[in-house]
Structure 1
Amino acid sequence: MRSAPVVDGAIAGAVGSAALDIVSYLDMVLRARPASQVPDETAGRLAETAHVNLGAEPQAANRRSGLGALLGYATGIAAGAAFGLLAARRRIPLPVAAGLLGGGVMATTDGSIAALGISDPRTWRRSDWLSDLVPHLAYGMATAATLRRLRSPSRRGG
């Protein structure tokens, strides 16, 4: 039985999101850098904008942390699902798919943090850009490769 392209894409996006996290955590280990506060700040800003009360501290900080991580997964899974629909209609070479996925998710997240006033990517140093680019490329490659595997003729059945 064939699965829906959006489901395959969502699964691939979840795999890509895990790859992004793994690469980010490896970077933290190798360079002894702290975790980014951007996801927490993004969640807090979005909650404020939506007039959602996250409670008093320290519970609010814990909620921002959880919501920030969940927003990252939601973005990665949604991007994978959307790409699954696109990839169902045409065959996209793996390097192109990886670049589109990684670049698209990176542009979405960086555009969001800029629009929310959390950070200005125009002021980032080279190391900041690399810390952002490498995990997003890992996301793109893992998502594209997983989607290709899920949609391969030997896996389609029937």
Structure 2
Amino acid sequence: MGMKTFYYILIAISVIFILFGLLFLIAAMQNPDRMHVAMISGFIGSAMAYFSFLAISRINYNSPQNLEPLIFKIAKKNGGYFSAEQIMAKLGVTEKVFTAALDHMLSKGSVVSGEDRDGTMVYRTAAVSLEVKRKCEFCGAEYNVRDSITSCPGCGGNVKMG
């Protein structure tokens, strides 16, 4: 039984505590002494549900499938490159979680390889491609590849892929 299953069972138990709390709250209309039991039962059920949902959320956040798009987003900002230290600092994950996510990405082929730069392993993503622009030879203005221009609208120079 995994930790996630354990927390789902705790949520089911917390629902039972909350229902007992509501039952004792209704019974407290006839006998006010039952109010304390209702409050304690409701508090225990609410606390168990809160911490179980919090733990499930953390487990889901740390899954390799969830971290992969977040790593790609960081890599895209850095031209397709990322390092372990950078990912761990920005996402707030441990080295074990990062290694699991990296192994998942390596097995899928979405990370090409690791290079050693200044003593730091830097990885390149295959999904992030470098942006290609059209550039004017004379004034240096850049245009999207989708724009089918052959001459620069600003200076009239030749526009080439670059």
Q: Do they fold alike, i.e. is TM over 0.5?
A: no
- Larger Cα-atom Rg: 2
Structure with higher helix content: 1
Q: Which has the higher strand share?
A: 2
Higher relative contact order (CA closer than 8 Å, sequence separation 6+):
1
